[in-house]
Structure 1
Amino acid sequence: MSSPLSRLRLADLLPVATIGLRTRPGRAGLSVLGVAIGIAAMVAVLGVTRSSQAEVLAQLDRLGTNLLTVTSADPRGGEEQRLPSAAGPSTARTEGVLAASATAQLDDLHVYRSDLVPATQRGGLDVRVTDTALPSTLDAGLLTGVFLDEATANYPVVVLGFEAATVLGIADLSGDDRIWLGGRWYVVVGILEQVDLAPEIDRAALIGAGTAAADFGWDGHPTRVYVRADTGRTAEVASMLPRAANPQAPSRVSVSRPSDVLSARLAVADATTSLFLGLGAVALLVGGIGIANVMVISVLERRGEVGLRRALGAARRHVAAQFVVESVLLGAVGGGAGVLLGAAVTVALAQNRGWQPIIPSVAAALGLAAALLVGTVAGLYPALRAARMAPTEALRTA
């Protein structure tokens, strides 16, 4: 008479598969930790990168990608070189240009809070001549006060960039704020907000063309022209600006787009993401090897149990399923813990940097899937090894 086929109900599989986890929680915890670290690294890298990229994209949307700067193509000694005097009006008349503003850096002029400050202390601030169209071209707001107009541009008044005002210790214009500029007193009438796409404006003291010509002999040649182009025609406008700024020698004119620096940050972030994802994958692989080692040891330690179950009629597939499910559970718990840990790291870093925390759902799903896959693969060999044990051999060597 043939013996009945061995059966293992699904309701019984989970308690049987967790015997090793419940009896050796320390070893199981270390295995879970290995997988959790790998998954947390991958989730955190993707989350932090996505949060950072979202912030950069929001900044690009806010600042615009249609701002261009026109300068000399051969600066010497770090100083801006002169452009033709008609460079400003010519670029403003170029097709596709919405606004243009010409500025000039005045060399050998320095800015001080008082006339008692030694001339050797430069402070790293520049003096720039500007026209009245600068705020609208740069989309720059005023922190306080007013900007230069057609009247004040001819008088000894100055508007400070954000960094320049900070260095000089001028936070508001509640008093009679003056600065010592080029050996003359200038009244501060305004302070600009920070201009992210034009840092040279942030550290400059801005004066009008009339007073620059009268006090310092400025000859009307700009050194930098800011151009706000039609967004859809930015590349086309950029190709036309060298000839517009210097028809005689367009090759000596350089046109750049400040927002390209922000765009480059996205490319760097993508490259860095690939690197750290690779490191996270290595950590996950190490965690998988740890699970495999634990399962192999578990099989060796539980030979008596395996032999007894086989002698009582348990099929090979039931023994294999027991150890595979145990390994999958280790991977699943490690994956879940890793996703939570990675999300927590993402939120903490994003809030510290002032970003909107973004945790991609794809990252969490792939993290869990990867953990389950690692747990399954890591448990196959130990499970097959346990299933192949002969009952007599297992009982004899137990």
Structure 2
Amino acid sequence: MTVRARGTSPSRPVDGEVSSTRRRGGGGRRGRPGRLGPLGRLGRLGRRRRPDRPWTDPRDLWSESLAGVLARPVRSVLTTLGTVLGIGTLVVTIGVAATAANQIVGRFDALTATSVSVVVPTPPPGSLDPPLVRWRGVDAVRRLAGVESVAALSDSENTSNIQVKANDVVAPGTVSGQTLSIVAAEATLPAAVRGTMTTGRFFDAGDIERHERVAVLGDQAARLLGIGDVRDAPAVFFNGQSFTVVGVLGGFRREQRLSASVILPPTTAADRVGLKEVTRVLVNTSLGAAAQVARQAPIALAPGHGESLTVLAPPDLSRARKGVEGDVDGLFLVLGLVSLVVGAIGIANVTLVTVMERVGEIGLRRALGASRRQVAAQFLAESTTIGLLGGVVGAALGVAVVVGVAGVRQWTPVLDPRLALGAPVTGALVGLVAGLYPSLRAARMEPVDALRAPS
């Protein structure tokens, strides 16, 4: 006797089992597959291909973002204005800084970068050694390549404070004299100090050769002594001697201290004051030749003893230019960055307000099948568009302001093309960063809650 459970049939196996005849290949319907239980059916459904996720054409995304920007033109303009001010300020500050730095360095090149000074040590008192540099030895420097003008000077501590008077008459209530410096110089001194004769003339080679008792006053010394015209051959008096003033030298662009000095010919200074040895040599070079002249001048002035001379040469122009530009750029760059941050905050604020006003639209998009990523991309595209437009307009206005300022100041405008071309990209990046939080907040909205929210 065969015993079986109630409700079962020998011809139908329990659900979830495969018939023994099916496993052995015989009995029942030949070739009929066994039945799968619920777990088998779920496994088959799990292996089915998922439908493709919805995808948005970038052109449609761009057109929708542009339509969203143009839907509220006044608000979009005001929002873009923040980026325009930020980008424009950035372009203006960097452009004006570069232009001003170029102007500063240009003046530095013209005045300082072509000036070389050679200091000659004074021999100790009572020394029998010949002087390192003679007055006629300066001609060797004039023959160097790149040299434009040279002049030798002689001064000392004993002649730095001499009581000089414009007349030899002592009158009650009048100033008896002024304390001035007495120096000796070559006839080429006006060109070496880049000065001009305001009145009269400078002594020449004939005056030097004849040991004439003539003098040239610096413009400040002439004002202190009350001498404004030399047509009447005024005289100055010091150390009990008189010297005829033949001219007044002014406009010093080098050695401004000579403006308060009495300048004598070398021969006259050696005879009357005791200034015999050359103590300094002033050299003016063409632009770019200062370094070479600074190396060659000591050898030309004192062959074999060039290391005893001290050369004062300008610093390297490339380093000076970079230093000036770096300082000016760093000073003005902060203002541009602050304005740019303010513009970014404005875009973020307005984009967040727009998200709150378009809650119903967001819910409808989600209900129609739009994904969170598509909603976030929509608002990111709008904020990026606003930043891009602000960057383009700000860059154009900034370039115009830089050119205008340079034109008014008669400067040469200096603009980096990468700055003008990179400004719109910078504006787009600012808009992209500013729209991150509002777009994420829009993407996190649930369709049901968004549709129920009051519009």
Q: Report the 3-state secondary structure (helix = DSSP H, G, I; strand = E; otherwise coil) of the residue aligned with 1:220.
A: coil
Bigger Rg over Cα: 2
Aligned to 2:202: 147
Distance 1:289 1:145, change over 3 A: same
Shift of 1:255: 0.7
- Cα 1:262–1:220, aligned 2, differ >3 Å: closer, same or farther? farther
CA contact (8 A) 1:111 1:127 kept: no
Contact 1:104-1:129 within 8 A present in 2 as well: yes
Pairing partner for 1:16 from 68, 72, 80? 68
Residue aligning to 2:162: 109
State the distance in 2 between where 1:236 and 1:287 align.
52
Q: Give the AA of the match of 2:69.
A: A
Distance 2:415 2:435 in 1: 30
Superposed, which structure 2 residues align to 1:338-349 within 5 Å? Answer: 338-339=394-395, 342-343=398-399, 346=402
Cα deviation, residue 108, structure 1: 0.7
**Which ranges of structure 1 fall in alignment gaps of 5 or more residues?**
75-82
Higher relative contact order (CA 8 A, sep 6+): 1
Give the superposition deviation at 1:379.
1.8
Give the conservation status (yes or no) of the 8 Å contact 2:65–2:385: no
Alignment of 1:325-336 (within 5 A): 325-336=381-392
CA distance in 2, matches of 1:214, 1:329: 84
Percent identity over paired residues? 33
Contact 1:331 1:372 in 2 (8 A): yes
Give the drift of 1:69.
0.3
Segment of structure 1 superposing worse, 84-93 or 259-268:
259-268
2:183–2:262 CA contact under 8 A, matched in 1: yes
Q: For residue 265 of structure 2, what is the aligned residue in structure 1?
A: 208
Go from structure 1 to structure 2 and tell me whether the alpha carbon gap of 1:39 and 1:16 turns closer, same or farther (over 3 Å shift).
closer
Task: Find the aligned partners of 1:335 and 1:186 in 2 and give their Cα distance.
Answer: 70
Change (3 A) 1:57 1:326: same
3-state DSSP of counterpart to 1:225: strand
What is the CA–CA distance in structure 2 between the aligned matches of 1:6 and 1:265, rounded to whole Å? 52
- Cα 1:302–1:120 shift into 2, 3 Å: farther
Give the AA of the match of 2:189.
L
2:189 to 134, 137, 159: 134
* CA pair 241-137 structure 1, distance change in 2 beyond 3 A: same
8 Å CA contact 1:47, 1:358 repeated in 2: yes
How far does the alpha carbon of each residue in 1:229-272 deviate from its partner, in whole angstroms, 9 at most, with x for none? 68776435423544665679766532112476997365233234
The structural deviation recorded for 1:303 is 1.3
Q: Tell me: CA distance 1:265–1:126, structure 2 relative to 1, closer, same or farther (3 Å).
A: farther
**1:284 partnered with 2:340:** yes
Q: Distance in 2 between matches of 1:9 and 1:230?
A: 62
Structure 2 unmatched runs, 5+ = 1-53, 123-129
Larger helix proportion, structure 1 or 2?
1
2:439 to 377, 383, 388: 383
1:69-120 residue CA offsets vs partner (Å, 9 max, x unmatched): 012579xxxxxxxx94735444542573645311123411367888987469
- Counterpart contact for 1:67–1:228, Cα < 8 Å: yes
Alpha-carbon contact 1:96-1:230 (below 8 Å) kept = no
1:100 aligns with 2:150: yes
Deviations 1:338-372 (A, max 9, x none): 43564566457656765334344333222232112
* 1:181-232, Cα deviation, whole Å (9 max, x unpaired): 748565352544442x5444556553322443454x1331233211346877
- Verify the 8 A CA contact 2:376 2:439 in the aligned structure 1: yes
1:255 aligns with 2:311: yes
RMSD: 4.6
* Distance in 2 (alpha carbons) for counterparts of 1:325 and 1:270: 36
Paired residues of 1:91 and 1:227 also in contact (CA < 8 A): no
Alpha-carbon distance between aligned partners in 1 of 2:66 and 2:345, rounded to the nearest angstrom: 23
- Secondary structure in 2 aligned to 1:323? helix
- TM-score, scaled to structure 1: 0.72
Equivalent residues of 2:193, 2:252 under 8 A apart: no
In the alignment, the residues of structure 2 paired with residue 117 and residue 322 of structure 1 have an alpha-carbon distance, to the nearest angstrom, of: 89
Q: How far, CA to CA, are the matches of 2:226 and 2:206 in structure 1? A: 27
TM-score by length of 2: 0.64
The residue identity in structure 2 corresponding to 1:107 is S
The change in CA–CA distance for 1:332 and 1:276 in structure 2 (over 3 A counts) is same
**What aligned pairs does 1:225-240 form with structure 2 within 5 A after superposition?**
225-228=281-284, 234-240=290-296
Letter in 1 for 2:162: L
Compared CA separation, residues 275 and 56, structure 1 to 2 (3 A):
closer
Aligned length: 378
Deviates more, 1:172-181 or 1:88-97: 172-181
1:395 is matched with 451
Task: Select between 129-138 and 315-324 the one with higher mean Cα deviation.
Answer: 315-324
2:353 is aligned with 1:297: yes
